[in-house]
Structure 1
Amino acid sequence: MMKRTSLVDVAVEKLKEYIAEHQFDNGDKLPSEKMLVEQLGVSRTVVREAISRLQQSGLIQVKSGSGMFITEKNKHLSMLFESHMKVHGFKIKELLEVRKILELGAIRLLIENKIVIDANKLRDLNDIYYESFNKSQKFAHYDSAFHETIITFTENQTLITMSKVIKEYFDKNQFNQIVDKEDIEKSYKEHADLIEAIEKQNLTLAHDIINKHLSRVVEWIEELEQK
């Protein structure tokens, strides 16, 4: 027989999947406790404990006399992605490939739609990224901020959300923090070239830079796996 904790873990995952599959939005009301018991096929006590966990994580809010409500609308994709990773495992090379696809797509949107970017903001982030290598070891954070900002300029909320989900897993593993000064200098130069390519609306050049930039990371991961 499964222990209470195991049943609660299962109920939490089922509840996350239920929320994601039914596309509940920020402020939407969830079904009653009784209905969730029927939907999840577990006891009322287990459902209550699962709800308590999701409340602590900030996904839902329980209002006395009113019911349960979604509080973070952008977590649906994140929850599905998390479930996928639990089943299939964390594959950093696949995440890098997805990241490359997202960023290439974002740059295409920016150039084809002639969206004006804040180039000075990107240059400032790139400078901070370079300078942080010797100062704070937070260069991975600033590198991520640089790439996230490019995607944010598209104003495509679905693309932005997908990018943030991928970013969460990079942040958790922090694999790209083991680099040397030469790597930082190459990335800094590629960032600068990318900004210029986007400003000049040169899609081919921008894509070449991104491919080169992220391919180096993939090669680095492959080298680590062989050791």
Structure 2
Amino acid sequence: MERVTTDRRLSMTQQLVVDLTQQILAGELPAGSKLPTEQVIIKERGVSRTVVREAMSRLQAEGLVETRHGIGTFVVDTARPGDFQGSKHVKGGAYDALAVIELRLSLEVEAAAIAAQRATPEQLQAMREALDAANAIDAMDEESARMDFEFHLLIAQCTGNSFFIDAMTHVGNTLIAVVQQAGPAVTLENRALVVREREQIYAALARQDGEAARASMRLHLINMLQRVRGVVEVTGD
């Protein structure tokens, strides 16, 4: 019984971390904004004080928030230097984007295969909504990059593996910083291809086909790598 209780608490903590991370990366909680108080989160989420405090500790460790004693918890600038993001990792050129995508290839291909076996109907619905929102954006800018990454972060969440989720959260911080400084790799001309690639990933996840999910994610990221390489060749960054 104790193990079940502990696992449930960890799951609730991870869900709270993921939800707040998504709001931060999506700009719903911009840098400098104050998070709801512990009491408000407990009431709105129906979780314990322990869950909230563990979630805040995780967010602080990931460099997303900081607690000012006696004042509250605030969102920090995710593009500033930190443990796994910032100027020492992001120089602002397309080469940085290449490095990020190479890392994503090592993470997301297997994450997609695992997610296909573990995604719940509720998670698939959340993914569908995130995908629809990302597909609806015409402009290729920082906002579209945020929404695209939300879809990928939800896939990591479906694995139920906190290490995948934490790694992808860090990747997201770096990815957004790259887009802010170097510009998006996706152009309006190849947007339709990107939309189709994401739909193929979702379709594989929805039918619980791990091999197809793995293959479609690999194809998507390899194509993305080629698109960024094209930017490098054109701009000479």
Q: Distance in 1 between matches of 2:140 and 2:177?
A: 22
Q: Deviation per CA, 1:52-105, whole angstroms, max 9, x where unpaired?
A: xxxxx9546568xxxxxxx99xx9xx944348x728967332211111222122
Q: Give me the identity figure in percent.
A: 15
How much does 1:132 deviate? 1.4
With over 3 angstroms needed to count, the CA separation of the structure-2 counterparts of 1:81 and 1:179, relative to structure 1, is closer
Find the counterpart in structure 2 of residue 225 from structure 1: 232
How much does 1:177 deviate? 2.5
2:233 partner letter = Q
Q: Distance in 2 between matches of 1:62 and 1:176?
A: 37
2:165 partner letter = I
What are the ranges of 5 or more consecutive residues in structure 1 without an aligned counterpart?
Answer: 1-24, 29-56, 64-70
How much does 1:180 deviate? 3.0
With over 3 angstroms needed to count, the CA separation of the structure-2 counterparts of 1:101 and 1:87, relative to structure 1, is closer
Greater C-alpha Rg: 1
Find the counterpart in structure 1 of residue 113 from structure 2: 108
Q: Deviation per CA, 1:195-216, whole angstroms, max 9, x where unpaired?
A: 1111222222112211111112
Q: Distance in 2 between matches of 1:135 and 1:225?
A: 17
SS of alignment partner, residue 84 of structure 2: helix
Q: Distance in 1 between matches of 2:139 and 2:162?
A: 35
1:103 partner letter = E
Find the counterpart in structure 1 of residue 205 from structure 2: 198
Structure 2 length-normalised TM: 0.56
Q: Distance in 2 between matches of 1:125 and 1:61?
A: 32
Q: Distance in 2 between matches of 1:111 and 1:127?
A: 19
Q: Distance in 1 between matches of 2:190 and 2:89?
A: 34
With over 3 angstroms needed to count, the CA separation of the structure-2 counterparts of 1:207 and 1:27, relative to structure 1, is closer
Answer whether contact 1:100 1:211 (CA < 8 A) is retained. yes
Are 1:187 and 2:194 an aligned pair? yes
With over 3 angstroms needed to count, the CA separation of the structure-2 counterparts of 1:82 and 1:128, relative to structure 1, is closer
How much does 1:152 deviate? 1.5
2:88 partner letter = K
- Report the RMSD for the aligned CA atoms in angstroms: 3.5
Q: What is the correspondence of 1:86-97 to structure 2 with a 5 Å cutoff?
A: 86=88, 91-97=96-102
Q: Distance in 1 between matches of 2:230 and 2:103?
A: 20
Q: Distance in 2 between matches of 1:189 and 1:219?
A: 16
Q: What is the correspondence of 1:28-107 to structure 2 with a 5 Å cutoff?
A: 59=66, 61=68, 79-82=82-85, 86=88, 91-107=96-112
Find the counterpart in structure 2 of residue 36 from structure 1: none
Are 1:124 and 2:124 an aligned pair? no
Find the counterpart in structure 2 of residue 207 from structure 1: 214
Count of residue pairs the alignment pairs up: 163
